[in-house]
Amino acid sequence: MSVLDDLKMIHERDAQDALGIAEKQASYLKHEFGVELKLGKPIKNVVLAGMGGSALPGAFMTSWPGLSVPFEISRNYNLPSYVGPETLVISSSYSGNTEESLAALEEAKASGASIIVIAAGGQLMEKAKAGDYPFYEIPGGIQPRMSTFYFLKAFVDIFESLGLAAAGSAQELNQASGWLSSQLANWLPDVPTDKNPAKQIALELLGKSVVMYSGPKLFPAANKWKICFNENAKNIAWSNYFPELNHNEFLGWTSHPVDKPYAVVELRSSLEHPRTQKRFEVTERLLSGKRPSPEVVEVQGETLLQQLLWAANMGDFVSLYLALLNGLNPTPVDLIEKFKRELG
């Protein structure tokens, strides 16, 4: 029996039931925020000011459904110089106390931009109420990286309401929720390793630094895997995407010892550009023997949305199982909290 089939061990190490939260995430896509959004002036560009797990869901919007105006994610204290009265700034922070998001909010006010706030509470919630800004309240009690689908639903509601995303996007998200729930049943703890692809991948990654690759359309999901390996499994990981990596990182595999301490995971999609799909094949052939053979994940789903959700949620399960294999409780992020305290 695989160690990952020991339900007693899983229960003991996963003390905050992160696996149970991962199982519920599909339902977050149906969350109703109850906000009637009216800004009263035209929007010519959008900036999302957020960090870490509070910015990650915004990257999904660049892939699906896509926006009709320029959209940028600002992971910084400062906003882009073009921000002005025709900009929508979304200040996003799960805790509501992220100092970069708070600083960006003050810049947004000074620039005359329209402002929307997304948070589970904290100072951002207080500032939203004080400034009478539209406020999308994320349910609390979970880690930011596990709230991705709440944020995704908020973004879709916002952009569809403003006519910046395709009509029907929220309905498509709702429909995808039920489909995803049926798919993730294959990754649950009580499914034995020989039938559980998430457990199988985690076992292959044990003891390795993980390099995540995808095409541009699935890069938001690949980057979520990277973040979840970092925070859930406390495991170093990186991410990149085709075709960009063929112009630089590709050569990085060709020197040094062949037996490198890495594991390569590739999220492959039938919906990527045909030339991007060919790049996976040619790269694998030319780097054979120079890097570890990739763990190829053929992402499931008929639509891009389904594939993004499927890939993102599977990454949660893989990273959580890797945390358990590493002998760790996946939920706490003690060093990040210590860093914030020492930063003051």
- Which residues have a catalytic role annotated? 231, 247, 340
pLDDT band at 333 (very low <50, low <70, confident <90, very high): confident
Instruction: Supply the pLDDT for residue 334.
Output: 87
Q: How confident is the model at residue 256 (pLDDT cuts 50, 70, 90)?
A: confident
Q: How far apart are alpha carbons 127 and 115 in whole angstroms?
A: 11
Separation between Cα atoms, residue 224 and residue 56, nearest integer Å: 7
Distance CA 88, CA 116 (A): 8
Cα separation, 278 vs 187, whole angstroms = 29
**Cβ contact 25:148 at 8 Å:** yes
262-268 vs 295-298, strand pairing mode: parallel
The closest of 12, 15, 83, 95 to 51, measured between CA atoms, is: 95
End-to-end CA distance of the chain: 47
Average pLDDT over residues 81-88: 97
State the virtual CA torsion across 179, 29, 320, 208 in degrees, nearest 10.
80
Sign of the dihedral defined by the CA atoms of residues 101, 106, 107, 112, in that order: positive
Percent with pLDDT over 70 in the chain: 100
Q: What is the mean pLDDT of residues 160-169?
A: 96
The 3-state DSSP class for residue 162 equals coil
pLDDT tens by residue, 12-53: 999 999 999 999 999 999 999 999 998 988 999 999 999 988
Q: Which domains does the chain have, with CATH numbers?
A: 3-16+189-325 (3.40.50.10490), 25-177 (3.40.50.10490)
pLDDT digits (tens, 9 = 90+) for 185-229: 999 999 999 999 999 999 999 999 999 999 999 999 999 999 999
